[in-house]
Structure 1
Amino acid sequence: MANTFYNDFDTEPLSGPNGERPIDYRTPFQIDRDRILYTSAFRRLQSKTQVFLSGEYDFYRTRLTHSLEVAQIGRSICARLKVMNDAFGDEYYIDPDLVEAACLSHDIGHPPFGHAGERVLHELMRDHGGFEGNAQTLRLLTQTIYGDRGMDPSRALLDATLKYKTLLSETPDASNHFVYNTQRRFLDFTFGSDAFLSELRPGDERNGFKSVECQIMDWADDTAYSVNDIVDGVNAGFINLEQLENWAEANDIRGDEAEHIENLCSAIRRRRLEPMMGRKVGNFIAAADIVEASDNFMSNRSARYCYNVNVAPEAAAESNLYKRISLDLVFRSPQLQQLDHKAGRVLGELFRILADNYLGGRKRPLRLLTADTEAALKEATGDEHTSARIICDTIAQMTDRFAVRTYRRLLDPEFGSIVDLI
C-alpha cells in the first residue's frame, strides 16, 4: 500500500531521477537506512564520546548507543502519531524508516571527544571553511562516507538531517550551527533549487525552518540526551543528592521544577532512577503532536512542510531542566573540563603535525596517513583549503582511542614498540 505522504520529489536521490539506486523490495527510505547502518562511519560511533571519554567508564552511553536510542524514540513518535493523530492513516503517514535513518545518521559527523573536539577543529579550520558536526554529517552523506563518494541519499533524508541551513559565510563569527560554504549546492538540491536563501534570513530563522521528520529527530535527540545524561551522570558519581539539592537552592528552583528535582532525589535514594527516567522517555514521546504549518514556499511541493511538531510545553520545560542540571554538574565539572583540555591538546597536535608534514612544503613528506588519503592530498596539491579539509576529515573520523594512540605514536618517546602498533 503506497504512502501518499511522499512524492517523487521527496524520494529523488542526489544523483537524480535516473540515478543508480537499486530497484528492489525496499522503499527509498529503507535503502537510506540500510546504507547508513553498514558504514564504518556509523560503526565508529561506538568509540566516540557522548558525555564521558571513551574508556573512562564501562556503563555510559557512547555516540552509537545514543544514536540507537534516538532512532527508537523517533520510530515510536511516528508510530504513535499514525495511530493517535487524525491527519494520518494507513496510506498517509510520516515514514518511520526515514526518521530512523535521520536519527541514526545525525551524529556521524561528530569528531572524537564530542563537542570539545568540534570546537578545536573549528578553530583550526577557521581559515579553511570551519568545522561543524552537522555540516560534517552532510559532507559524509553526500561526498565521503564511502571514502571518495557519498551514499547518494534521498532528498527527504538530506532534509531530515539538516538541522542548520545557514552558510558560514553568512554568519562568519558563528562557532556552530552552520554548513560549509562549499555545501550550497546540496542545500539547493534539498529545496529543489528554490531561492530559499532569499526567503529566510540566515541564522535562527532559516535554521528553524525544518521538515517534519527533522523536527521529530530533533525532539527524539533532545529526549534521549536530556534524560540519559542524568542517568549516566548519577551512575558515574557526578550527580548526587547533595549536589542536586545545592544546585536547586543556588538556582532558586520552584514550582514544577522543584517537584521534578524532588522526584529525582527520591528515585536516587530508592535506587530506581533508571526505571523512572525510562518512563520519562515514554512521556516525552507522548508529548509530541502534529499541527498544520502555515503556508510556506515548500508546502506546495512536499507534505513534509505542511506540518510542524508541537511538543507539550511542560515536557519541553522538563527536558530543558535536565539539560541545565547536566551542563552545570557534569559538563562543567573539573573532571570533564580536564578531558576537554586533553581533547584540545590531542587533536590540535595531530592537526599541526599532519599539516606541517603534508602542507609545509616538504619535498618528501613522511608517510603518516593511508595511501588513499595521501593520493587525495597529492591530487589537491596547490589547493590549501581542500588539503586542509582532507586532513580535517581524517582526524574527524577517528575514534577517541585511535586519536590518542596516533598522538602517542607521534609524540610519546616510550610508545612505539611492535606491540603498541597492534
Structure 2
Amino acid sequence: MWDPADIERWAPEPDKRPGRTAFQRDRARVLHSAALRRLAGKTQVVAPGTSAQAWDASPRTRLTHSLECAQVGRELGAALGCDPDLVETACLAHDLGHPPFGHNGERVLNEIAAPCGGFEGNAQSLRLLARLEPKRFLDVEDDADGDGGSRLVPVGLNLTRASLDAAAKYPWPRGGHPTDPGSPKFGVYEDDLPVFTWFRSGAPAGRRCFEAQVMDWSDDVAYSVHDVEDGLHAGHLDPNVLLAGPERTDIFDAAAERYAPGASHAELAEALDRLLDQEWWPHSYDGSAVAQARLKDATSQLIGRFCLAAEGATRRAYGSGPLTRYAAELVVPRGVRLECAVLKAVAHRYVMQRDDLERLRAEQRVVLGELAAALVTRAPEGLDPQFRALFGQAPDDAARLRVVVDQMASLTDVSARSLHARLSPPP
C-alpha cells in the first residue's frame, strides 16, 4: 500500500522488532518523548488553580488536549482509510513546539527571535521532531580538521517521511504561504530546510497531505469543543449569554475576524442557533453530577457531529476506498466549519480574553522578556546541558540566539518562572 519512500527515515536504521509497522514505531517514539511529557506543564486555556469552582480542579493542559486530539484523529482517519497510527502520530506531535504560556508566550518568543528568523510553534514542533528531541544521531564524515574523522549529527526522533509530512500543518517556510505571503503561520525555520525539503520531496508546493488535513480538523474539533467545556466548568461562561443580542454580536465579530474570514453575522447566527436547538445542548450548568454528565454528552455529540459531517462529505466526494497522502482533500461542509468557528469564538471571548487575564498575560510577557535578556547575557549559564553544548557549537550570534530560544520554548510554565527567578532575581 505504501510507497517505500513514505516509510524511509532521514537516518537509515533497522527495525528492532519485526512485525511492527513503521508508523507504529513513529507513534511510540512520540508517545515516549520528553517533549510530549512537558506538555503536561503547559496551559491549554484555563490555568490550573485559576478556577473559583471546586469541581474544576483539573482543567486541560496541552498534553491532555494532544491526547484528545489524537483519539479524534485516529478514529476519523481510520474511517477514511488512513493508517490510524500515522494520523495519531501527527496529532500527538502537532503541539510539541508550543512554548510556556501558550499563544502569549509564542508572541513574545517571536519578537525575541526576530534576528534569527522568528518563532512559530509549528516550526518549533518540526525542529523538535527532526533535531532537538534526543533519540537518534547520524554519523557523518567531518574533514574540517583534515584528520578524516566523523561527528554525530542529531536527527531527533528520526520519524518516517510520511509522519513528518503528516505533522506539517503549515508546509512552507516563513513568508511562503501559498496565498498570503504576509501570514505569520509557517512550518519550518531556515536552518531546518534540509530535512523539510527531504520529507516534502515530490509533494505539491504548499499543499498539506491528507493525513495532515485530518490532523488539523481533529485539532479544531478537539479544542473548539473542549475549550468551551472547560470554560463552563470553570464558571467563565454562562450559557444564557449566547441568547443575548450584544453578546452574540461580540461572538460573531470574533468569529468573522479570527476563525471564519468572510462569514456574515447572519451565517454565524444560523450556525450558533443550529447548535442551541439541539436537545443535548447545555443550556445551564451548575456543576452537579447530572450537569457534568449532560455536558460530557454534549461534548461527545459535538465531536461526533463535526467528524461525521467531514467523513460523509469526503466519502461523497471520493468514494469508499482508502484515502491517503495526496490522493484526496478532506471535505468539511461550510455550515459545520462555521459551527466550529462559533465555538472557537465563544471560548475566545469568554475564556481566553477575560479582563482578569490581562494582568497575568502582561506578567508572563515580563517573565519571558527578562529571562531571554538574562540568558542572552549570561549563556551558556542557565542552559540545560543539551543546549549548552549546542550554544558552544553555534557559528554566529543568530545561531546562538536560536539555541536560547530553543531552551526557552522547551520550558513548562513552572520551569520558566523558576529559571527566571534564578537568573533575574528582583532588585
TM-score range, shorter chain: 0.7 to 0.9
Cα separation, 1, equivalents of 2:112 and 2:383: 19
Question: Partners of 1:221 and 1:310 in 2: how far apart?
Answer: 15
1:281 equivalent to 2:303? Answer yes
- Following superposition, the deviation at residue 132 of structure 1 comes to 0.5
1:41 shift after superposition: 0.5
The aligned counterpart of 2:339 is 318
Task: Specify the alignment match of 1:378 in structure 2.
Answer: 392
Which secondary structure does the structure 1 equivalent of 2:329 belong to?
strand
CA RMSD of aligned residues (A): 2.5
Structure 1 residue aligned with 2:61: 62
**Does residue 152 of the first structure (1) align with residue 158 of the second (2)?**
yes
User: Could you say which residue in structure 1 is the equivalent of 2:98?
Assistant: 110
- The 1-side partners of 2:336 and 2:364 are apart by 34
Tell me how far 1:184 sits from its aligned partner. 2.0
Q: Deviations over 1:371-399 (max 9, x none)?
A: 3432321222x511111111111110101
CA contact (8 A) 2:47 2:59 kept: no
Q: Separation in 1 of the partners of 2:33 and 2:10?
A: 18
Question: Structure 1, unaligned stretches of length 5 or more?
Answer: 82-92, 201-205, 295-301, 359-364, 415-422
Question: Is 1:335 aligned to 2:356, yes or no?
Answer: yes
Which residue is equivalent to 1:351? 372
Counterpart for residue 8 of structure 2: 12
For the residue of structure 2 that corresponds to 1:137, the secondary structure is: helix
Instruction: Give the SS at the match of 2:330.
Output: strand
Q: Aligned letter for 2:248?
A: A
Letter in 1 for 2:64: T
1:243 equivalent in structure 2: 241
TM-score by length of 1: 0.81
* Residue equivalent to 1:419: none
Are the equivalent residues in 2 in contact too, given 1:52–1:336 (CA < 8 A)? no
1:191 corresponds to which of 189, 193, 200: 200
Count of paired positions: 371
Once residues 299 and 176 of structure 2 are traced to their aligned partners in structure 1, the CA distance between those partners, rounded to angstroms, is 40
Q: Identify which range, 267-276 or 399-408, moves more after superposition.
A: 267-276
- Give 3-state SS (helix, strand or coil) of 1:268's partner: coil
When the two structures are superposed, what TM-score results if normalisation uses the length of structure 2? 0.80
**Counterpart residue number, 1:400:** 413
CA distance in 1, matches of 2:63, 2:186: 22
Higher mean displacement: 254-263 or 315-324: 254-263
Give the secondary structure class of the aligned counterpart of 2:370. Answer: helix
Matches within 5 A, 1:195-344: 200=205, 206=206, 209-246=207-244, 247-248=247-248, 251=252, 254-261=269-276, 264=281, 266-268=283-285, 271=291, 272-289=294-311, 290=314, 303-344=324-365
Q: Tell me the distance in 2 between the aligned counterparts of 1:135 and 1:254.
A: 35
Query: 1:291 touches 1:307 (CA, 8 Å); kept in 2?
Result: no
Q: Equivalents in 1 of 2:315, 2:348: separation in Å? A: 31
Change (3 A) 1:383 1:55: farther
State the alpha-carbon separation in 1 of the partners of residues 378 and 423 from structure 2.
12
Instruction: Please report how far the alpha carbon of residue 267 of structure 1 lies from its aligned counterpart in structure 2 after TM superposition.
Output: 4.7
How many Å apart are 1:368 and its aligned residue? 2.3
Between 368-377 and 125-134, report the one with greater CA deviation. 368-377
Call closer, same or farther: CA 1:397–1:261 in 2, change over 3 Å: same
Q: Is the 8 A contact 2:371 2:424 kept in 1?
A: no
Partner residue in 1 for 2:123: 135
Decide whether the 8 Å contact of 2:210 with 2:328 is kept in 1.
yes
Paired AA for residue 241 in structure 1: P
* Amino acid of the structure 2 residue aligned with 1:227: V
Report the more deviating stretch, 172-181 or 327-336. 172-181
Partners in 2 of 1:79 and 1:167 — Cα distance? 30
Moved more, 165-174 or 101-110: 165-174
TM-superposed deviation, 1:173: 5.3
Partner of 2:83: 95
Report the CA distance shift for 1:293/1:261 in structure 2 as closer, same or farther (over 3 A).
Answer: closer
In the TM superposition, residue 403 of structure 1 has moved relative to its aligned partner by 0.7
> CA separation in 1, counterparts of 2:401 and 2:23?
33
Structure 2's unaligned 5+ residue stretches are: 52-56, 136-153, 253-264
Q: What's the counterpart of residue 120 of structure 1?
A: 108
1:72 counterpart SS class: helix
Residue identity over aligned pairs, in percent, reads 36
> In structure 2, what is the Cα distance between the partners aligned to 1:150 and 1:293?
38
Answer yes or no: is the 8 Å Cα contact 1:331–1:337 preserved in 2.
no
Task: Quote the Cα distance in structure 2 between the aligned partners of 1:267 and 1:277.
Answer: 14
Q: What's the secondary structure of 1:287's corresponding residue?
A: helix
Please give the alpha-carbon distance, in whole angstroms, between the structure 1 residues aligned to 2:14 and 2:370: 41
Report the equivalent of 2:383.
Answer: 369
Mapped to 1, the partners of 2:269 and 2:389 lie a distance apart of: 60
Q: Answer yes or no: is the 8 Å Cα contact 1:50–1:61 preserved in 2.
A: yes
Is residue 388 from structure 1 mapped to residue 401 from structure 2 by the alignment? Answer: yes
2: CA distance, partners of 1:146 / 1:372 = 9
How far residue 97 of structure 1 moved from its aligned partner, in angstroms, is: 0.5
Check 1:190–1:309 CA distance in 2 against 1; reply closer, same or farther (3 A cut): same
Q: Distance in 2 between matches of 1:19 and 1:292?
A: 40
Compute the displacement of 1:235 (Å).
1.2
**What amino acid maps onto 2:301 in structure 1?**
R
**In structure 1, the residue corresponding to 2:13 is in which secondary structure?**
coil
With 41-50 and 276-285 compared, the bigger mean Cα shift is at 276-285
